[in-house]
Amino acid sequence: MTNVLVIVGAQWGDEGKGAIVDFLAEKADLVCRYAGGNNAGHTVVVKGKVFKFHLLPSGIIHSSKINLLGNGMVIDPHVLCEEISTLEKQGFSIDENNLAISSRAHVITQNHIDEDLNKGGKVGTTGRGIGPCYTSKIARTGTRMGDFVAAEGKFADKLKPMVTDTTHLVNESITAGKKVLVEGAQATLLDIDHGTYPYVTSSNPSAGGACTGLGIGPTRIDSVIGIGKAYITRVGNGAFPTEQGTPEEMEKEEKSDSCTEEDISRANSNEDYFVGKVLRRQGREYGTTTGRPRRCGWFDVVAMKYAIEINGMSAVVITKLDVLSGLKKIKVCTAYEIDGQPVKWFPPDNNTLSHATPVYESLAGWDEDISSITSFDKLPLAAQEYVKRIEQLMGVPVAILSVGPGREQKIVLDSKELL
């Protein structure tokens, strides 16, 4: 039985974790975030209504849940208060009954933001002060939420009732048999230790971070599920073997969520940039936090298998399968070639990865719009074959397929590991 389930990003972020957490949150008593801050952006669509979160866990729109911001997070009090006010204006009530903020989480200050804006360009950070705040934490010069709310001030007064010892709360809840959903932000390949350093974030978004970022022991976790898109994207700089088109070509492109027939036809003639453009536009691949266009590429099994190992994933969720509709051939990267040698293991450094040439397997695509299909066997055969093939290559089962942003657009294939 799964009582404590950790959800992590399996790629470079933006895999659609928010919508999956929202879907799974129905059965959870607690929804907890453990790392990162408002560099994250989660979009959840409920009955056509769009909610965007940066700090609050996606469970916040389920009235009966406790939502928890763990000690591993970095919190900008101004942004958190704004996010709470926005939801309050939409009719939600947010207080100590449904939101618990760790007194040990670190506070992002204006100095952190200024430093990030001045120095984050090389990595392509989100400019939210994340790295400098974690730097202060490690240098032991930071301010924690407990100290922040002990001093008076507009934001401190608003947040004070919700700031508490979340470590005790989460452990007590697990002991009492409550269902705990742990929501990762960012993703494995952006992990400060396991990602494509230095083009990474400054925390541990992978499953190990759930233990340190919440104060729970590894034996408390029953299951880890990784979320990956049916293709892959990256925001910011760093190596990206299966990227289609260059960042320079992408920068010249107009932001839009529709493609022309010419775009699709040129993508189907194997013009890399057009494949990237079709994925970006059909997938609405523009950052929730910064609005930046995302670099897009084919599904990368080497990266996925690495993420499966790093996190100890027992299943994966594949999102945005609908975005591939219209592509005649769909490629999957099964290995890399680096300096003339075949490589099946994700290299430990960004420089080596930047020399990796993907080895592709080509699979048949499909034309149909699949966004309203609710069972696997109703999917076009080519879509079924695609999912079965990547499942076989990854070596772990696909628990859920997502064919659109709404709750009703999730197809459960295997519920064993779910709450």
List b or e across 291-302, with b for residues whose CB sees 16 or more CB atoms inside 10 angstroms. Answer: ebbbbbbbbbbb
Whichever of 11 and 71 has its CB closer to ligand IMP, that residue is 11
Whichever of 126 and 402 has its CB closer to ligand IMP, that residue is 126
Whichever of 190 and 390 has its CB closer to ligand IMP, that residue is 190
- What is the closest distance, in whole angstroms, from the C-beta atom of residue 294 to ligand IMP in the complex? 8
Whichever of 286 and 376 has its CB closer to ligand IMP, that residue is 286
Q: Which long-range contacts (CB under 8 A, 24 or more apart) does 254-261 make?
A: 255/286, 255/291, 255/293, 256/281, 257/281, 257/282, 257/284
Q: Which residue has the CB atom at the shortest distance from ligand IMP?
A: 236
Our CA dihedral for 334, 338, 341, 342, rounded to 10 degrees, sits at -10
- What is the closest distance, in whole angstroms, from the C-beta atom of residue 39 to ligand IMP in the complex? 4
Catalytic residue among 14, 22, 76, 322: 14
Whichever of 240 and 299 has its CB closer to ligand IMP, that residue is 240
- What is the closest distance, in whole angstroms, from the C-beta atom of residue 233 to ligand IMP in the complex? 8
Rounded to the nearest angstrom, the gap between the alpha carbon of residue 177 and the centroid of all alpha carbons in its chain is 27
| Binding interface with ligand IMP (CB under 6 A) | 13-14, 39-41, 123-126, 128, 130-131, 185-186, 190, 199, 201-202, 235-236
CA distance 224 to 181: 10
Least Cα distance to 308 among 234, 399, 220 occurs for 399
Least Cα distance to 402 among 300, 323, 288 occurs for 323
Active site residue 78: no
Active site residue 14: yes
Where does 256-354 have alpha helices with state H? 261-268, 272-282, 301-311, 350-353
Catalytic residue among 42, 54, 106, 112: 42
- What is the closest distance, in whole angstroms, from the C-beta atom of residue 199 to ligand IMP in the complex? 6
- What is the closest distance, in whole angstroms, from the C-beta atom of residue 335 to ligand IMP in the complex? 25
Residues catalogued as catalytic = 14, 42
